[in-house]
Amino acid sequence: KLEGLKTIAVTTNGINLTRLLPRLKEAGLNAINISLDTLVPAKFEFIVRRKGTNLSSKATVCLLYMQVNCVVMRGFNEDEVLDFVDFTKDLPLDVRFIEYMPFDGKYCCFEFLFNRS
């Protein structure tokens, strides 16, 4: 731990969180952002290109601060907004709905932005 450093945070999709959390906390981790765009396992696996979510671990609740970032996308997960509210209402965390930022490698997908209806 470094003197004067108040927050050590990480952003993750949660895939390896259960396995890595004890060591991260030991290293001083006290805040976490979880990128979670869907509560539907099949959609989550499609997004992260891996099997399983590993987000059911209750170990994450013991962190000082936890937040969930959800990118709402038309035609993919906009029907889950109320499910996210219900999922997080009794948990000690914040959920933020954030804007989709189209990006393909190192170039922004401008055609997507300009053709939006």
DSSP, res 28: T
- Amino acid at site 90: D
Phi, psi of 48 (to 5 degrees): -90, -5
Write out pLDDT tens, residues 6-36. Answer: 888 888 888 888 888 889 888 888 888 888 8
What residues does each domain of the chain span?
8-99
pLDDT tens-digit series, residues 25-78: 888 888 888 888 888 888 888 887 777 655 544 444 454 577 888 888 888 888
Q: Is 13:36 a contact under the CB 8 Å cutoff?
A: yes
Q: What is the pTM of this model?
A: 0.65
Going from the C-alpha of 81 to that of each of 26, 42, 71, the distances in angstroms are 34, 17, 10
CA pair distance 26, 74, nearest whole angstrom: 40
